[in-house]
Amino acid sequence: MYSADYLRNFTFRLFSKLGCPEDDASTIADILVAAERRGISSHGMIRIKNYYLMHEKGRINVRPEIQTIRETPSTAVVDGGGAYGMVAAKRSMQIAIEKARNAGTGWVTTKNSNHFGIAGYYSMMALEEDMIGIAMTNANPFVAPTFSKSRLLGTNPVAVAIPAGKYPPYVADFATTPIARGKLTIKGRQGESVEEGLVQDAEGRSSTDPDVIKEGGAILPLGSDRAHGSHKGYCLNSIVDIFSAVFSGANFGPFVPPQVPFLSPPDEQVGEGLGHFFGAMRIDAFQEKEEFKNRMDKWMETFRKAENIDGEPEVMIPGDPERAMEKKTEREGIELLNSVEKDLGELADKLCLDFEIKRS
Amino acid sequence: MYSADYLRNFTFRLFSKLGCPEDDASTIADILVAAERRGISSHGMIRIKNYYLMHEKGRINVRPEIQTIRETPSTAVVDGGGAYGMVAAKRSMQIAIEKARNAGTGWVTTKNSNHFGIAGYYSMMALEEDMIGIAMTNANPFVAPTFSKSRLLGTNPVAVAIPAGKYPPYVADFATTPIARGKLTIKGRQGESVEEGLVQDAEGRSSTDPDVIKEGGAILPLGSDRAHGSHKGYCLNSIVDIFSAVFSGANFGPFVPPQVPFLSPPDEQVGEGLGHFFGAMRIDAFQEKEEFKNRMDKWMETFRKAENIDGEPEVMIPGDPERAMEKKTEREGIELLNSVEKDLGELADKLCLDFEIKRS
- Structure confidence at residue B188 (pLDDT): 87
End-to-end CA distance of chain B: 12
Closest among A130, A128, A136, A129 to A160, alpha carbons compared: A136
Task: Tell me if B173 sits within 8 A of B322, measured CB to CB.
Answer: yes
pTM over 0.80: yes
Q: Which residues of B touch A276 (CB under 8 A)?
A: none
pLDDT digits 0-9 by tens, A111-149: 999 999 999 999 999 999 999 999 999 999 999 999 999
CATH of domain B65-178+222-318: 3.30.1370.60
Q: Which of B72, B95, B219 to mutate to test the interface with A (most CBs of A within 10 A)?
A: B72
Say which of B77, B255, B285 has its CB closest to residue A72.
B285
pLDDT digits 0-9 by tens, A34-90: 999 999 999 999 999 999 999 999 999 999 999 999 999 999 999 999 999 999 999
Q: Which residues of A touch B77 (CB under 8 A)?
A: 286-287
Q: What CA–CA distance (Å, rounded) separates A54 from A260?
A: 7
Please check whether the two domains, A1-62+335-360 and A64-177+225-318, share a CATH topology: no
What number of other Cβ atoms are within 10 A of residue A262's Cβ?
8
Total CB pairs under 8 A between chain A and B: 277
Domain layout of chain A by residue ranges: 1-62+335-360, 64-177+225-318, 179-219
- Structure confidence at residue A189 (pLDDT): 83
Q: Which amino acid is at A355?
A: F
Q: For domain B179-219, which CATH number applies: 3.40.50.2000, 3.30.60.50, 2.60.120.200, 3.30.200.20?
A: 3.30.60.50
Q: Which residues of A touch B222 (CB under 8 A)?
A: 222-223, 229, 232-233
- Structure confidence at residue B288 (pLDDT): 98
Q: What CA–CA distance (Å, rounded) separates B178 from B174?
A: 9
> Taking all residues of chain A, what is their mean pLDDT, rounded to a whole number?
96
**Rounded mean pLDDT, A171-199:** 92
CA contacts within 13 A on the Cβ side of A272:
16
Say which of B235, B246, B248 has its CB closest to residue A174.
B235
- Structure confidence at residue A358 (pLDDT): 86
Q: Inter-chain contact B307–A149, Cβ cutoff 8 Å?
A: yes
Using the predicted structure, report yes or no on whether residue A360 has a pLDDT greater than 70: no
CA A123 from centre of chain: 10
Q: What CA–CA distance (Å, rounded) separates A192 from A184?
A: 9
Packing angle of the helix pair B22-37, B4-17 (nearest 10 deg): 140
Asked if this assembly's ipTM is beyond 0.90, the reply is yes
Question: Which residues have CB under 8 Å from B250's CB, separation 6+?
Answer: B110, B111, B112, B113, B138, B244, B256, B271, B272, B273, B274, B275
CATH of domain A1-62+335-360: 1.10.1530.10
Q: Inter-chain contact B148–A203, Cβ cutoff 8 Å?
A: no
Q: What CA–CA distance (Å, rounded) separates B24 from B237?
A: 29
Task: Tell me if B116 sits within 8 A of B137, measured CB to CB.
Answer: yes
CATH of domain A64-177+225-318: 3.30.1370.60
Q: Which residues pair with A75 in a beta bridge?
A: A72, A107
Question: The domain at B1-63+336-360 falls in which architecture?
Answer: Orthogonal Bundle (1.10)
Which residue numbers in chain B have pLDDT < 50? 360
- Structure confidence at residue B189 (pLDDT): 83
- Structure confidence at residue B198 (pLDDT): 97
**Rounded mean pLDDT, A165-190:** 92
- Structure confidence at residue B97 (pLDDT): 98
Q: What CA–CA distance (Å, rounded) separates A100 from A105?
A: 4
- Structure confidence at residue A152 (pLDDT): 98
Q: Which residues of B touch A195 (CB under 8 A)?
A: 227-228
Say which of A147, A152, A176 has its CB closest to residue B302.
A152
- Structure confidence at residue A83 (pLDDT): 98
**Rounded mean pLDDT, A189-218:** 95
Task: Tell me if A261 sits within 8 A of A269, measured CB to CB.
Answer: no
Q: What CA–CA distance (Å, rounded) separates B222 from B205?
A: 17
Q: Which residues of A touch B146 (CB under 8 A)?
A: 315-316
